[in-house]
Amino acid sequence: MRVSTSARLWRWPVFVLVVVVAVVCVLVFRNDSMYLPGADGRRYARQFVVAWMPVLGAVLLIDPTPEITATLPRARRVYLVLRAVMTAGILVPLVLAWSLSGQPVVKALYEGSIVCALITCSIIAVSLWQASGVLMASLVSVLWLLAGDTLATVLGFADITGQAMQVSALHWVFALVSLGLAAAITLRGAGSTRWQ
Amino acid sequence: MSAVFMWIKASWKLVLSALAIAQLMVMYNVQPVDGIPFGWRVDWSWMLSVWGGATLLMSPLAAAAVVALVLLNVNPEVQQGLPANVPRWKPVAHISAAVAVQGLAVQLIALGICSLVCWLCQADPRGLTLPWQLLTGPVALIAGIAVGSAVAMLIPTYWSIPGVLFALFLAHRIFFWHGWPELFTTEMATGMVTGGRPIPGFLAATTWLNVVTAVAIWSGLIFVTHRGRHRPWLALLICLVCIGGALGIYLPFVLADAWDTYEPIG
C-alpha cells in the first residue's frame, strides 16, 4: 500500500520540490564548481542538474496503477501530459542556468544536447523497464558526470585541454537533433504496451 | 542458499552487466602510460588502488540495484503478506546477498584479468600493502549494499533508486581531502604514486569501519523491522556495539587530524 500510495500522492509535490531545489541551486551556485574524484575535470552546479534532473523526472513516469490507467478513455493523453510536464520541469532550471551563468554558447549547446539525450534515454528506459530503467538511467547520468569533458572533446565541443571552442554549424546540428529526439519521444512515448 | 541463487538467476542480466560496466569504466578512467590507456598495468599497487576504487561507481550502483529489485519484487505490500513466522527482512536479505555475490564475482574476475596484465607487463610490486589492498574494495561494496537494503525497507519509493545512487556517489566528496577511513567508496590513485604506498593502518581502519558499519546496519534493520512480540534484543545490542566500534575506529583519525593516506616506501 505504501509504495503505490506514496507514488500516487507524493510524486507531484516531490517533483515540484526537486525543481525548486534545482532552480535555487543554479541561482545560488551559478558559477561555482567542484572537483569530483574520478572525473575528468571540474563540475559546475548546473552540470549536476543536467545529469540528475532527467532521472529524477523519469520517476514520475512510473505508473502506480497501470491497469487502471489503461482503462481510461484518455490514457494516452494522461501519459503525454506526464511526459510533457517532466520535460518542462527539467528544462526550466537549466534554461535559467544557461542564461544567468555567462558561459560560452558552445557550452550551453553541449549541455543542452546532453540533457536532451538523457531525457530521451530516461523516458525510453523507464517506460520499458520501470524501476530497472531508473537504475540504468541513473548509471548513464553518473557516467556522464565522470567522463563529460572527454565526451565533449570527442563530439567536438571542446579541445584536448577542455577549453570551449567557437560555435560552429555542427554544434547547432547536434543540439537540434538531440532536441528533436527528446521532443519526439516526449510526444510519442517509448512504444511500450503499457504506455500506448 | 537456493533463494539467493534464484535471485541471481532473476537479476544477473541487469545487475551483473551494470556492475561490470562500472568496474570497466573506472579501470579505464586513469592516466595513460606511454600513451596507452590502462596505465595501472605498470604498478601492482596502482592497479589494486584503481580496482578497489571502482567502488566509487559499484557501491552506489549495487545499493540502487537492491532498492530497485526490492521495489519490483518484494515491495511493502508483499512484505506485509508474508506468513507471520517469516521475518520481513528475509527476502530483502536474499536479494542483497544475490547482488553482493554478483558484485564480488565482478571484482574477482576483474582482479584476475588485471593481475594477469600486470604480470605480463612486469609491473613494479614495491608499493603493495597486502592484504589490506585486497580487502578494502569488497568490504566497501558490502557496506554500500547494506545501505541499499536499509533504504529499500525504510524508504520504499521509486525516488530512492536515484536518491541512494547519487547520495552514495557524492558521499566520498565530504571528507575527500582528509586522511580518514573511508565508508562505502574508497579513494583511488588516478596517476602513479612513485615512491609511495598506502598506509597499512589507514587501509585496515577502512576495512574494519566498513565491516562494522555493514553489521550495524543489518542488525539495526532486523531489530526495527521485527514483527511480533519477542523483540530481537541481541540484534539491537550488536547494532549498538558496532556503532561504538565504528566511532572507535574513526575518532582517532579525526582527533589526530590525519591527512596522509600514503607513506614513503621503505
Partner-chain residue, chosen from A52, A55, A135, that has the shortest CB–CB distance to B65: A135
Buried b (16+ CB within 10 A) or exposed e, A150-160: bbbbeeebbee
Dihedral over alpha carbons A38, A40, A44, A50 (to 10 degrees): -90
Asked if the model's pLDDT at residue A168 lies above 80, the reply is: yes
Q: How confident is the model at residue A60, as a pLDDT?
A: 83
Confidence class for position B207, pLDDT limits 50, 70, 90: very high
Contact B14 A139 (CB under 8 A): no
C-alpha–C-alpha distance, residues A142 and B64, integer Å: 13
- Minimum distance, in Å, between the CA of residue A177 and any CA atom of chain B: 27
Q: How confident is the model at residue A160, as a pLDDT?
A: 67
Asked if the model's pLDDT at residue A196 lies above 50, the reply is: no
C-alpha–C-alpha distance, residues A162 and A42, integer Å: 10
pLDDT in tens, B22-75: 999 888 877 788 888 888 888 899 999 999 999 999 999 999 999 999 998 887
Best of B49, B50, B153, B166 to substitute, by most chain A Cβ atoms within 10 angstroms, is: B166
C-alpha grid cell, residue A132 = 530497472
Best of B31, B92, B157 to substitute, by most chain A Cβ atoms within 10 angstroms, is: B157
Helix axis angle for B55-73 and B89-120, nearest 10°, is 150
pTM of structure: 0.89
Confidence class for position B79, pLDDT limits 50, 70, 90: confident
Phi, psi of A37 (to 5 degrees): -55, 135
Partner-chain residue, chosen from A7, A131, A146, that has the shortest CB–CB distance to B68: A131
| Contacting residues for B146 by C-beta, under 8 A, at least 6 apart | B96, B213, B214, B217, B218
Q: How confident is the model at residue A162, as a pLDDT?
A: 65
Radius of gyration, CA atoms only, chain B: 19
Amino acid present at A24: V
Residue B156 carries which DSSP code? -
Confidence class for position B1, pLDDT limits 50, 70, 90: low
Partner-chain residue, chosen from B14, B68, B157, that has the shortest CB–CB distance to A3: B157
Share of chain A above pLDDT 90, in %: 16
Cβ atoms of A150 and B32 within 8 Å: the answer is no
Confidence class for position B157, pLDDT limits 50, 70, 90: confident
Asked if the model's pLDDT at residue A4 lies above 70, the reply is: no
Phi, psi of B54 (to 5 degrees): -65, -10
Closest CA relative to residue B148, chosen from B69, B205, B264: B69
Closest CA relative to residue B46, chosen from B109, B110, B126: B126
Asked if the model's pLDDT at residue A1 lies above 50, the reply is: no
pLDDT in tens, A37-67: 777 778 888 888 888 889 998 888 887 777 7
Average pLDDT on A86-94 reads 87
Tell me, yes or no, if B28 comes closer than 8 A to chain A by beta carbon.
no
Most confident range (mean pLDDT) of A26-40, A70-84, A131-145 is A131-145
Tell me, yes or no, if B68 comes closer than 8 A to chain A by beta carbon.
yes
Sign of CA dihedral A108, B24, B129, B31: negative
pLDDT in tens, B124-155: 888 888 899 999 999 999 999 999 999 999 99
Q: How confident is the model at residue B80, as a pLDDT?
A: 78
**Owner of C-alpha cell 481510461:** A72
- DSSP for B112-143 reads HHHHHHHHHTT-B-TT--TTHHHHHHHHHHHH
Higher pLDDT, A82 or B118: B118
Sign of CA dihedral B204, B205, B208, B210: negative
Alpha helices, DSSP H only, in chain B? 2-28, 44-53, 55-73, 76-80, 89-120, 132-154, 160-171, 200-224, 233-255
Asked if the model's pLDDT at residue A180 lies above 60, the reply is: yes
Asked if the model's pLDDT at residue B203 lies above 90, the reply is: yes
Confidence class for position B179, pLDDT limits 50, 70, 90: confident
Nearest CA in chain A to B170: A36
Buried b (16+ CB within 10 A) or exposed e, B58-67: bbbbbbbbbb
Q: How confident is the model at residue A191, as a pLDDT?
A: 56
* Chain A partners within 8 Å of B14 (Cβ): 132, 135-136
Partner-chain residue, chosen from A52, A59, A139, that has the shortest CB–CB distance to B18: A139
Compute how many other C-beta atoms are within 10 angstroms of the C-beta atom of residue B231.
Answer: 10
Tell me, yes or no, if B18 comes closer than 8 A to chain A by beta carbon.
yes
pLDDT in tens, B221-236: 999 988 777 888 999 9
| Contacting residues for A170 by C-beta, under 8 A, at least 6 apart | A156
Task: Work out the mean pLDDT of chain A and round it to a whole number.
Answer: 82
Higher pLDDT, A27 or A141: A141
